[in-house]
Amino acid sequence: MAKELKWQGKTEEEVKSIDLDTFAQMVSTRIRRTLKRGFTDQQKALLKQLDAGKDRVKTHARNMPILPSMIGKTILVYTGKDFSQIIITLEMMGHRLGEFAHSRKMVSHSSAGVGATRSSKAASAR
């Protein structure tokens, strides 16, 4: 038997039915402050597209908090180069979209290149 996922003691169906004021009391202070001050025009446009029922919505609003109405939706978040696909799940509540679309890649250095000094070639051969 699979364990039922819960967010702060509430099931997915209960979370989807929560209004914005109740949700604001359940999240961290940083997200609560964003909800209290209101959404930017870019964030409002994203919410409007999601409410219209679009399946895949592209956005540049990486600072948008993940709301209960977004559960189960697919959002393409801009990473600075391309769009990263994110499927919103229950565990993502109270975070921001940008946390799940990484904008930096891990750096991996290779061996010394052409024209490198002999000492740097010897160092990479060890």
123 within domain boundaries: no
36 within domain boundaries: yes
107 within domain boundaries: no
125 within domain boundaries: no
Share of the chain above pLDDT 70, in %: 88
CB-count exposure of residue 77 (10 Å: 0-12, 13-18, 19+)? buried
Give the end-to-end CA distance of the chain in Å, rounded to a whole number: 53
56 within domain boundaries: yes
**Domain housing 45:** 12-102
108 within domain boundaries: no
| Residue 47: per-residue pLDDT | 93
Asked whether the whole model's pTM tops 0.75, one would answer yes
pLDDT band at 3 (very low <50, low <70, confident <90, very high): confident
Q: Answer whether 101's CB lies under 8 Å from 77's CB.
A: yes
6 within domain boundaries: no
120 within domain boundaries: no
User: What average pLDDT does range 56-64 have in this prediction?
Assistant: 94
* Whole-number average pLDDT of the chain: 87
We report the CATH number of the domain holding residue 42 as: 3.30.860.10
Number of domains in the chain: 1
Spatial separation of the C-alpha atoms in residues 113 and 124, rounded to whole Å: 10
Alpha-carbon distances of 67 from 16, 27, 105, 106, rounded to whole Å: 9, 10, 27, 30
- Please state, as a whole number, how many other Cβ atoms lie within 10 Å of the Cβ of residue 68: 21
User: What average pLDDT does range 23-38 have in this prediction?
Assistant: 92
